[in-house]
Structure 1
Amino acid sequence: MHHPSELPPHLRNQPFTVAEARTAGLGRRRTRARDLVSPCYGVRATAATPDSLLERVHALTAVTGAVVSHLSAAVLWGFPLPQALENLAVVHLTSRPGQRAVRRKNVVGHEQSLGPEEIVAGVRVSCTSPLRTWFDLAGIVSLDDLVIAGDFLLRRRNPLTTIDALDAFLAGKQGRTGYRGALRARALIRAGTDSPKETELRLLLVRHGLPEPGINVPMFDETGGWIQDPDLSYEQEKIAIQYDGGHHAGPAQRRSDIFRDENARDAGWRVVVLTQWDLTPFAPGMDPTAVTRVRAALTERGWTPAPGLRPRRNRGARDARHPSDTNGR
């Protein structure tokens, strides 16, 4: 059995173009050998290379010289995205100044100017910066999802930017496509969150006419001892709101949560524990359980809504536009 010849060292661990193979002295037969795959036209990679977004964009940028952007950059940065958009087969690429938009199968090509500070060069690919990536999402995702992505930028642990940097960035984008949507989202973005669900819950409560809760505000007992940082809270009414995701179902975490909440109750706090089931109404026209439970807790502690206050229209729940709608913008 004929075994393909060994690749030159500089072509072994990364995608390479057919032109690069020819320059290295490889013939047509070698570039079609069974130990190589073609992740995109004109590019080869070893068959052992895993099929992942990073590998696909690595191959595409190797042959096009473009910058990974929009939804593809958001996935690489780890942005929380709707599941329908997170696993798309298409790749978003923005051409560098002076180059035409990429036109390839399963590629959404964009033509837009990017400043040097808006491009981050990684070890394997170059992609748009976190701020530019977030701004580009304004024409693709719903308002709520854009706020969730913005909170992710300013998360409590390992934030990708700061409030001041976000505001300065937006100031330079006035009049650009997506600016109005980004500005609406900026009014709702808050720093210091720990999870996308905290943001989703906060937006839900405010939209239904409840006061905006604090985010991860430390709770102390009467001696000044720290108790916990509840996900959301109303300090004046001493109401703590905890969102328990799937990882809270484990025995060890559950014991920790019980101890956490007992200490808060001993200090005079009302604790409301919510899950995913509480965020969605049981039937059209009904308030989500999260809203009714938090409203009841606030009322119990003496809160009354302002006269004439009505829930705000759910502007953030509109359907996200398909990524192909932004092609070429």
Structure 2
Amino acid sequence: MRRPSELPPHLRHRPFSTAEARAAALGRGRTRARDLVSPCHGVRVAATAADTLLGRVHALAAVTDAVVSHLSAAALWGFPLPSGLGADAIVHLTSQPGHRAVRRKNVIGHQQFLAPEEIITGAHVRCTSPVRTWFDLANILSLDDLVIAGDFLLRRRQPLCTLSELDAYLPGRKGKPGSRNATHARTLMRPRTDSPKETELRLLLLRHGLPEPGINVPMFDATGGWIQDPDMSYEREKVALQYDGGHHADPGQRRSDIFRDERARDAGWRVVVLTQWDLTPFRPGMEPTAVSRVRAALLERGWVPAPASRPSRRPAPSPTAPPDRNGR
């Protein structure tokens, strides 16, 4: 069997459209050779190319003028997303008004206006900006998952957006689909987090009536020497919370964690180390052990829960009740 002829240099290491192939004087036989595959209609790429989300959107970019958006953009930016959303299987593309939404297999096409600052041009594709991508998730994710994605946007190391940039952006989206969800999530988002699980833990504690902990607040000893930045902490009660993910099982990391926590205890802190087991209730309706353990530590250190508010004897009016004859 004859070996396929070499491709022109400008087509060798990227997806290319059949129109580009014709412009390069490649015949139909060459574009159907065994060294090429068709990731989508009208596009060819080397058969050895890895089948990745970036590869698929790169191929689609060769034949559309659309912008990668929604879950696909979130996956490219690295947002933590719940499993089961199909972020890697289905490609989301947004077309500007005046252009038809993309209609292709395994593609969800959107049509909406994107301002120039909401589009980032990368080496291979155009993608919605991090803040616009997060906003587009507001109609897709649950509130907690949207907050987790938002904390990732504002994370401590290499944040994708600043808090001031986000707060300047949201008013301009008022009234748009998802704006209420995004505004609600913003009230629960906090900058300088390190992991999605830390956000999940913080939201869990708040939901069960515990006070909000500080995030990565530096801890010092009596001489002013730095000890650590605990994941979360209550400075007044001197209670530190550490969430240990899977990488903390590494022997070297474990030794470092033990030394870290011993120094904190020597400085008078109560350290509560939590894992995934503490976040998940043993039975439906049962309080997660993370809540009971943190509550016990706070009570031990003198925290006094706020008294529960007494319910009003007068029933609140129904929000769906029709007005009376006088229009009230």
Query: If the length of structure 1 is used for normalisation, what is the TM-score?
Result: 0.93
Structure 2 counterpart of 1:217, one-letter code: V
Task: Give the Cα separation in 1 of the matches to 2:96 and 2:15.
Answer: 20
Task: Give the Cα separation in 1 of the matches to 2:3 and 2:87.
Answer: 36
Q: Which runs of structure 2 are paired with 1:290-309 in the superposition (5 Å)?
A: 290-308=290-308
Task: Give the Cα separation in 1 of the matches to 2:284 and 2:199.
Answer: 23
**Which runs of 4 or more aligned residues in structure 1 lie more than 2 Å from their structure 2 counterparts after TM superposition?**
85-88
Q: Please say which structure displays the higher CA radius of gyration.
A: 2
Task: Give the Cα separation in 1 of the matches to 2:103 and 2:61.
Answer: 13
Shift of 1:309: 6.1
**Identity, % of aligned positions:** 76
Unaligned ranges ≥5, structure 2: 311-328
Task: Give the Cα separation in 2 of the matches to 1:266 and 1:86.
Answer: 48
Residue 286 of structure 1 corresponds to which residue in structure 2? 286
- Verify the 8 A CA contact 2:214 2:233 in the aligned structure 1: yes
Task: Give the Cα separation in 1 of the matches to 2:28 and 2:124.
Answer: 26
Residue 268 of structure 1 corresponds to which residue in structure 2? 268
- Verify the 8 A CA contact 1:146 1:185 in the aligned structure 2: yes
Shift of 1:85: 2.3
Q: State the SS of the aligned residue for 1:50.
A: coil
Unaligned ranges ≥5, structure 1: 311-329
Residue 241 of structure 1 corresponds to which residue in structure 2? 241
- Write the deviation string for residues 227-272 of structure 1: whole angstroms up to 9, x where unpaired: 0000000000000000000000011000000000000000000000
Residue 37 of structure 1 corresponds to which residue in structure 2? 37
Task: Give the Cα separation in 1 of the matches to 2:5 and 2:281.
Answer: 62
Residue 72 of structure 1 corresponds to which residue in structure 2? 72
Residue 321 of structure 1 corresponds to which residue in structure 2? none
Residue 208 of structure 1 corresponds to which residue in structure 2? 208
Residue 22 of structure 1 corresponds to which residue in structure 2? 22
Residue 115 of structure 1 corresponds to which residue in structure 2? 115
Task: Give the Cα separation in 2 of the matches to 1:61 and 1:12.
Answer: 16
Task: Give the Cα separation in 2 of the matches to 1:265 and 1:87.
Answer: 43
- Verify the 8 A CA contact 1:40 1:60 in the aligned structure 2: yes
How many residue pairs match? The answer is 310
- Write the deviation string for residues 89-141 of structure 1: whole angstroms up to 9, x where unpaired: 11000013421100001000001100000000000000000000000000101
Change (3 A) 1:212 1:287: same
Structure 2 counterpart of 1:149, one-letter code: A
**More displaced stretch, 96-105 vs 132-141:** 96-105
**More displaced stretch, 77-86 vs 57-66:** 77-86
- Write the deviation string for residues 150-191 of structure 1: whole angstroms up to 9, x where unpaired: 111111111111111001110100000000000000000000
**More displaced stretch, 80-89 vs 233-242:** 80-89
Task: Give the Cα separation in 1 of the matches to 2:156 and 2:309.
Answer: 32
The higher-RCO structure (CA 8 Å, 6+ apart) is: 1
- Verify the 8 A CA contact 2:53 2:88 in the aligned structure 1: no
